[in-house]
Chain A
Amino acid sequence: MTTKPEEQAPTETASPEDEPQGFRARLRRVVQRVLAVLRHQFSLLVEEGRTYLGRLRGGDMGSLPALLGLVVLFVVFTIAHDRFLTTYNMANLVVQAASICVLAMGLVFVLLLGEIDLSAGVAGGASATITALSIVDNGWSWWIAVLAGMGVGVLIGLAIGLLVALLGIPSFVVTLAFFLALQAVPLKLIGSGGSIRFNDEVLRGLSIKNVGVTAGWIAAIVIVVGYAALSLWRHRTRVSKGLVHKPMVLVLIRIAIFTGVVIGITALLSANRAPNPNLFNISGLPWVAPVVVALLLFWTFMLTRTRFGRHLYAVGGNAEAARRAGINVTRIKVVAFMICSGMAAIAGILSASYSGKVSPGSGGGNELLYAVGAAVIGGTSLFGGRGRAIDAVVGGLVIATIPNGLGLLDQASYINFLVTGGVLLLAASVDAISRRRRSAAGV
């Protein structure tokens, strides 16, 4: 985090007169200068690494536990089943994780305030029911139906937010009531035991169709170039204004890692992954992936670059301080619940898209706990004030990997419940312990 403002390597001050002539001498000087720059950057990197270790020791672990968990799960499942680490299954995993990631991304907003939304799962189910009915019964086109579903979600969030922020009822109780009450919506509209087919070409296609390979590559390259340009431009601005900044080498390493991940995933999913490659060609990113990435970019921008995001963190960190600073705490809370339920509606629609139907039980299972687990595993604190949109995506991948791998291993479903419950508890423990360490170390 902390780096001295002056980062440029010490430059040689030899005047041109006493420079020895000749190619070898010039070459030696250039090499020496390059070495000096490298040595300087390396020492900055070491210092940065030390700061990072200090933060880790102080309990500020971010997404690290989730990444480690993901690696462990991948290693275990790869050893346990030879079909786990195939491109076919990886594409499956992406589709399975999508709705959890989106639901968790919405929950991050509520968790940032130190609140909880237990009704997000069933709010998604209710919204998906509205969307499905709009298409099947009313014949609306998909995007109007999606807007209707999201509208329902946002209204649910508005109601919850007003009850929490204005009446002061604990969000746990309000959303528990909504969790129970909202299950009535699909049950009444669909009827018990029934289900609505969710086979709109576009919406169902989100899960079963893929982005063309060429388009996927173009998008990947645009994203990588955009990220690199933005990082370098921001670094340059900070250096030129003499502000706090990361060492150049760290920026480059980050760009390299980002590029590796994006290109790697694109390459993996661009290969033909059909079980019988001679008969079929299944390749390209599933359509849900760009949807999740777009939501991730949008919410990351909102959280980190806008006044609303800054105020959200402030209210989560110290609501009284935020109030004294003139921030409308009530409004921030209501909006956070609206975002959460609105995102839950999208998650419900993605989930319906994956299963191809909406039934009265949609969203009432352990979707919500999966999503809370995803956000917390990813590094969002249950105590408020800490969390990012990317946490939800990383955590969502971890959570989705568990049923995916266990399903391949043909385990009874009770194992799945046990493992997921255990992972959620583990994540919450890591959160609580790191919070204690944070307050002790003051990071």
Chain B
Amino acid sequence: MSEHGEVATGTPDPLLELRQVNKSFGVVHVLHDVDFAVYPGQVTALVGDNGAGKSTLAKVIAGIYGRDSGEYLFEGQSVTVHGPRDVAALGVEVVYQDLALCDNLDVVDNMFLGRELRKGITLDDVAMEAKARETLASLSVRTVKSVRQSVASLSGGQRQTVAIAKAVLWNSRIVILDEPTAALGVAQTRQVLDLVRRLADHGLGVVLISHNMNDVLEVADRITALFLGRVAADVPAKEVSHNQIVELITAGRSGDLGIRDVSTATI
């Protein structure tokens, strides 16, 4: 993984960094000495085949899984992470693939779920609605017609938008998106990708986990490819082609990129 040092020059300091992370489930060694970094204002795509360890890595970042070894750094400082709450306190929000929205509640209620604003003991609906509108406006979201619509009446893209806006509402620093476009049509994918780009333009660190190479090449600034639980490459998106990424994902190697000796890489 010598190329890691080369590409890191000229980029800002990482907001969040994992160093030499290992994770096993029983006898299955899922993550091998993984280095992963998220930079402010950049979209980092996390790509890899099924079982390459993308979701495990995301859950380690989110604090859902612990690490067997390795360091967790936030803004260059080593931090102890015991669970999702610690990670949320750092300003890291995860938007899960199966959207965590309640269909019977409206957009505002969903965005503030679990963190409702109150005036005395009553809910401060006025302040919540105003703040939700403000957040949606700051993300230039125009697709959601009314913030008092129930979430059940929204399309897949709109729901994804609400889920992302919910993550942004709390002044987060990093947003991790797990397959945000997996179930969407063309136009809706467009909306969500635009939103992902806008998040990074707002200075947030964005992690995009995706299977879709077109999406990745379109919005990502950096690409981290996993192969059998190892980092095959961590490169600026401009420097790789579609085919190279596919090779990295499927073979762990592409030209002078990738794992040196693929044959020794086993689970």
Q: What residues of chain A have their CB less than 8 Å away from a CB belonging to chain B?
A: 1-2, 237-238, 241, 243-244, 305-307, 310-311, 313-314, 316-318, 320-322, 324-327, 385-386, 438-439, 442-443
Contacts and interface: CB of A to CB of B under 8 A. Distances in A.
Contacts of A439: 152
A2 B113 contact: no
B260 interface: no
B240 interface: no
A325 B150 contact: no
B126 A237 contact: yes
29 contacts: A1-B146, A2-B145, A241-B129, A243-B130, A244-B148, A305-B122, A306-B122, A306-B123, A307-B123, A310-B113, A313-B102, A313-B104, A314-B105, A314-B113, A314-B114, A317-B103, A318-B100, A321-B102, A322-B114, A325-B100, A325-B114, A326-B85, A326-B114, A326-B115, A327-B113, A327-B114, A386-B104, A442-B152, A443-B150
Given A442-B152, A443-B153, A324 B96 contact: yes
B113 A1 contact: no
Contacts of B152: 438-439, 442-443
B24 interface: no
Nearest to B166: A325
Highest count of chain A CB atoms <10 Å: which of B116, B118, B121, B152? B152
Contacts of B100: 318, 320-321, 324-325
B149 interface: yes
Given A318-B100, A386-B104, A442-B152, A244 B126 contact: no
Contact of A321 (B113, B115, B118, B147): B113
Contacts of A237: 126
Contacts of A385: 102-104
Contacts of A326: 85, 114-115
Contacts of A238: 126
B101 interface: yes
Contacts of B234: none
A157 B152 CA distance: 32
Given A307-B123, A318-B100, 18 more contacts: A1-B146, A2-B149, A237-B126, A241-B129, A243-B126, A305-B123, A306-B123, A310-B113, A310-B116, A313-B104, A314-B114, A321-B99, A321-B102, A321-B113, A326-B114, A385-B102, A442-B153, A442-B154
A327 B100 CA distance: 12
Nearest to B114: A325
Contacts, number: 85
A306 B121 contact: yes
Nearest to B146: A2
Given A2-B145, A243-B129, A318 B103 contact: yes
B109 interface: yes
Interface string B163-204: 000000000000000000000000000000000000000000
A305 B123 CA distance: 5
A434 B101 CA distance: 21
Interface string B48-92: 000000000000000000000000000000000000010000000
Interface string B124-147: 001001100100000000000111
Contacts of B133: 243
Contacts of A318: 100-103
A439 B146 CA distance: 19
Contacts of A443: 150, 152-153
A32 B210 CA distance: 60
A339 B234 CA distance: 55
Contacts of A307: 116, 118, 123
Interface residues of B, number: 32
Q: Top 3 closest A-B pairs, CB basis?
A: A325-B114, A317-B102, A317-B104
B76 to A, nearest CB: 28
Contacts of B113: 310, 314, 321-322, 325, 327
B148 A1 contact: yes
A443 B152 CA distance: 6
B118 to A, nearest CB: 6
Contacts of B116: 307, 310
B112 to A, nearest CB: 8
A329 B126 CA distance: 26
Nearest to A243: B129
A385 B110 CA distance: 14
Contacts of B146: 1-2, 244
A168 B152 CA distance: 28
Nearest to A318: B102
A330 to B, nearest CB: 15
Nearest to A4: B146
A1 B149 contact: yes
A410 B81 CA distance: 72
Nearest to B123: A305
Nearest to A387: B104
A321 to B, nearest CB: 4
Contact of A322 (B102, B118, B148, B154): B102
A299 to B, nearest CB: 14
Contacts of B121: 306
A245 B203 CA distance: 34
A244 B108 CA distance: 11
A241 B147 CA distance: 14
A143 B130 CA distance: 45
A403 to B, nearest CB: 33
A443 B150 CA distance: 7
Interface string B5-16: 000000000000
B109 A310 contact: yes
Nearest to B98: A320
A243 B121 CA distance: 22
Contacts of B104: 313, 316-317, 385-386
A325 B94 CA distance: 11
A24 B189 CA distance: 61
A314 B149 CA distance: 15
A322 B114 CA distance: 7
A318 B114 CA distance: 13
Most A CB contacts (10 A, CB to CB) among B121, B126, B146, B153 go to: B153
Contacts of A386: 104
A244 B123 CA distance: 16
A327 B102 CA distance: 13
A386 B129 CA distance: 21
B61 to A, nearest CB: 16
Contacts of B96: 324
Contacts of A243: 126, 129-130, 133
